């Protein structure tokens, strides 16, 4: 998709390209940025996450940054942790119009998270696509603080940790 000077439409053809990119990525996810660079504010992007992708628990504390996202396709699990790695809460998000687990369930389709909260996300469907917004500028050295109590992406224990996170949502 090309951008004209005023707008860029969010279009399903972007999803197809992101899916190709994520399938080829060892991280099993891909991003399409709408902002023009790391100094833009706010940062706006599509984030496509394949089932099994590991988003290591992290927080945006220094500098403090809030984070908002809306699920456009699929199902997503959001996990909030305390400072010691215990699960504080879980939140099951669905894209609007996505089939529900039961007739009386009404999960949210997005969230707005205050700065400094430890969190992770897992795709609960084969593909989850979210529209994400958070403040810029982006500095790789300060954007995220990764949780010391969770495995890193390169850790051989990461796949088992992802499975554990996914199990928190069984029955939803």
The residue-averaged pLDDT of 79-85 equals 98
pLDDT at 6: 80
Percent of the chain beyond pLDDT 90?
Answer: 72
When the pLDDT of each residue in the chain is averaged and rounded to a whole number, the result is 90
The whole-angstrom separation of Cα 158 and Cα 139 is 25
pLDDT at 133: 95
Q: Considering the domain 12-139+154-167, what is its CATH architecture? A: Sandwich (2.60)
Cα angle 137-138-141, degrees, rounded to a multiple of 5: 130
**pTM of full prediction above 0.85:** yes
Q: How big is the chain, counted in residues? A: 172
Here the tokens at position 124 are 């609960």
135: number of Cβ within 10 Å: 16
Report whether pLDDT(89) > 50.
yes
pLDDT at 104: 45
CA dihedral 65, 157, 153, 162 (to 10 degrees): -60
The whole-angstrom separation of Cα 140 and Cα 163 is 27
Per residue in 55-75, pLDDT tens? 999 999 999 999 999 999 999
């Amino acid at each position: 998709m090309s951008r004209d000077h005023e707008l860029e439409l969010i279009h399903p053809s972007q999803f197809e390209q992101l899916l190709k990119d994520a399938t080829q990525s060892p991280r099993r996810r891909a991003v399409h940025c709408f902002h023009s660079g790391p100094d833009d504010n706010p940062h706006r992007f599509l984030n496509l996450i394949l089932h099994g992708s590991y988003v290591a628990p992290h927080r945006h504390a220094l500098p403090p940054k809030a984070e908002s996202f809306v699920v456009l396709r699929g199902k997503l699990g959001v996990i909030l942790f305390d400072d010691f790695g215990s699960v504080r809460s879980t939140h099951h998000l669905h894209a609007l119009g996505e089939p529900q687990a039961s007739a009386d369930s009404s999960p949210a389709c997005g969230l707005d998270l205050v700065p400094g909260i430890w969190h992770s996300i897992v795709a609960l469907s084969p593909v989850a696509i979210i529209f994400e917004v958070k403040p810029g500028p982006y500095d790789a050295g300060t954007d995220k603080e990764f949780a010391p109590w969770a495995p890193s992406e390169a850790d051989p224990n990461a796949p088992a940790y992802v499975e554990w996170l996914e199990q928190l949502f069984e029955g939803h």
